[in-house]
């Protein structure tokens, strides 16, 4: 029982981060040709976090200037308008009111630049890796394709590279941007009112509980999701490639049931992942709302001004948003590291059949192929299918070796084709 429980134990965040360091370090090696854009994107993300943390100060300054601490009435409104119209104070008021739109504009520009450059680099890197991965696969010997089904290879090139892209966009960007936003917001709140900040953040450790629980469920769903996607691609590839045989034996219903089963499994695992990821946000927001309620009690007891309260409450809401984002990084890392490891394992594999060190490059050919003393055996068998075969194939002719099962091995010469036939 202990061994079974140990086998089911999932890695923690720090274990995941340590396991991801190797594949991520190699993945970032592909970023070197585009490091200027990558560094620019990270810099804009850090700038976003810094500007974001200054927003509570600006809100407190503006609201302190606008609100006078008393309920407005028509006579006071008329008096204030007369004061604005009699001197240059209108200019300072307008500038103060424009402070919030100004800082929000800078914040939005930094966010846009960060997202654009990080996505540009990640898509470019994934494009390079896809080309390298496809070239590596097609240069493998036939025993590689006998062991690896085509659907899984297609999934590596499409789905796994898409998951790898998350490591360069979400993970890289958020690991730099969101911690700066959290530290900056907490620092500003402590400077403004450290008692209010302590009262509000007293429930912060409670946010870690749903992150831990639902993060574990999401990690379990990630592996099943990729396995289900691979099975679905395998079913499609085998169906479309062998459609003539399927129709010959009226196997359409069987293939349809197989696809529906894998498709439904994919849907179930995807919804399981979505439930785990999206449940964290509402729980964190609920805890944040409780913290705000406690903060309101403190505001009443301490008799804070409206300007200081609006600034502090703005900082609190800005603080919980990056916390929610960071809570999902563990799940994204779990997805990307599994996909990255699978891709690099294929890139590191070597073909079983390679040219000899003293191989001679074939510069010209007359279209004739000679086999001398060839022995062939199928995988996982002990009997040779062909032994000591010597055969010469003339130019423009096609030969076929037909066995007892009526399956034939085609040996075409230049620009010839041979149709596969099989029977049960």
- Name the residue ranges covered by the structural domains of the chain: 30-348, 369-412
User: Please, is 322 exposed, middle or buried when counting C-beta atoms within 10 Å of its C-beta (0-12, 13-18, 19+)?
Assistant: buried
pTM of the model: 0.64
The predicted structure's pLDDT at residue 68 = 56
Look-up: residue for tokens 């032994």? Answer: 387
The predicted structure's pLDDT at residue 36 = 92
CATH 3.60.150.10, applies to 30-348: no
| 342: CB partners within 8 A, 6+ apart | 156, 160
Q: Is 365 left (phi over 0), alpha (psi -120 to 50) or beta?
A: beta
Token pair for 210: 């749903």
The Cα–Cα gap between 158 and 381 comes to 34
Q: What is the pLDDT along the chain (424 residues), one digit of tens a residue?
A: 444 444 444 455 445 555 556 677 788 888 889 989 999 999 998 899 888 888 888 888 888 777 754 444 444 445 444 544 544 455 567 777 788 888 889 989 998 999 899 889 988 998 999 889 998 888 888 878 877 777 778 878 887 888 788 777 777 778 788 888 888 888 888 888 888 777 777 766 666 666 666 666 666 666 666 666 767 777 787 787 788 888 888 888 888 888 888 888 778 777 877 777 677 667 767 776 777 777 777 777 877 777 777 888 788 777 777 877 776 676 677 667 777 888 888 888 888 878 888 888 878 777 788 888 988 887 778 888 888 888 888 887 877 777 665 554 555 444 444 444 333 3
Buried b / exposed e over 54-74, threshold 16 CB at 10 Å, is bbbbbbbebbbeeeeeeeeee
In a 3-state reduction of DSSP, which class is residue 375?
strand
Q: By C-alpha distance, which of 375, 419, 381 is closest to 400?
A: 419
């Amino acid at each position: 029982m202990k061994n079974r429980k140990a086998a089911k134990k999932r890695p923690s965040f720090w274990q995941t981060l340590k396991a991801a360091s190797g594949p991520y370090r190699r993945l970032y090696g592909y970023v070197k040709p585009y490091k200027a854009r990558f560094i620019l994107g990270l810099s804009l993300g850090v700038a976003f976090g810094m500007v974001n943390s200054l927003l509570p100060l600006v809100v407190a300054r503006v609201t302190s200037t606008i609100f006078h601490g008393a309920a407005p009435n028509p006579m006071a409104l008329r008096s204030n308008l007369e004061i604005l119209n009699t001197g240059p104070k209108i200019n300072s008021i307008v500038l103060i009111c424009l402070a919030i739109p100004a800082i929000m504009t800078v914040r939005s520009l930094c966010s846009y630049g960060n997202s654009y450059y990080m996505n540009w680099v990640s898509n470019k890197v994934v494009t390079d890796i896809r080309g390298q991965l496809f070239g590596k696969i097609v240069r493998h010997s036939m025993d590689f394709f006998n062991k690896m089904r085509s659907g899984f290879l297609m999934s590596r090139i499409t789905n796994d590279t898409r998951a790898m892209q998350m490591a360069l966009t979400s993970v890289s960007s958020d690991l730099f941007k969101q911690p700066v936003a959290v530290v900056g917001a907490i620092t500003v709140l402590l400077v403004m009112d450290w008692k209010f900040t302590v009262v509000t953040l007293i429930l912060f450790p409670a946010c870690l509980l749903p992150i831990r629980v639902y993060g574990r469920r999401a990690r379990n769903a990630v592996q099943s999701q990729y396995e289900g996607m691979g099975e679905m691609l395998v079913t499609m590839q085998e169906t479309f490639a062998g459609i003539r045989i399927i129709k010959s034996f009226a196997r359409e219903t069987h293939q349809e049931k197989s696809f529906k089963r894998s498709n439904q499994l994919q849907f179930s695992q995807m919804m399981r992942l979505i439930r785990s990821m999206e449940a964290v946000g509402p729980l964190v927001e609920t805890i944040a709302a409780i913290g705000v309620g406690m903060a309101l009690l403190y505001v009443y007891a301490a008799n804070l001004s409206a300007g200081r309260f609006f600034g502090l409450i703005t900082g609190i809401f800005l603080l919980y948003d990056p916390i929610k984002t960071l809570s999902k990084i563990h799940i994204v890392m779990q997805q990307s590291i599994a996909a990255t490891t699978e891709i690099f394992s294929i890139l590191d594999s070597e073909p079983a059949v390679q040219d000899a060190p003293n191989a001679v490059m074939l510069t010209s050919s007359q279209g004739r192929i000679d086999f001398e003393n060839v022995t062939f055996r199928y995988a996982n068998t002990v009997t040779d299918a062909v032994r000591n075969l010597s055969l010469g194939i003339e130019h423009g002719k096609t030969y076929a070796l037909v066995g007892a099962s009526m399956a034939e091995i085609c040996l075409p010469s230049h620009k010839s084709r041979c149709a596969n036939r099989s029977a049960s």
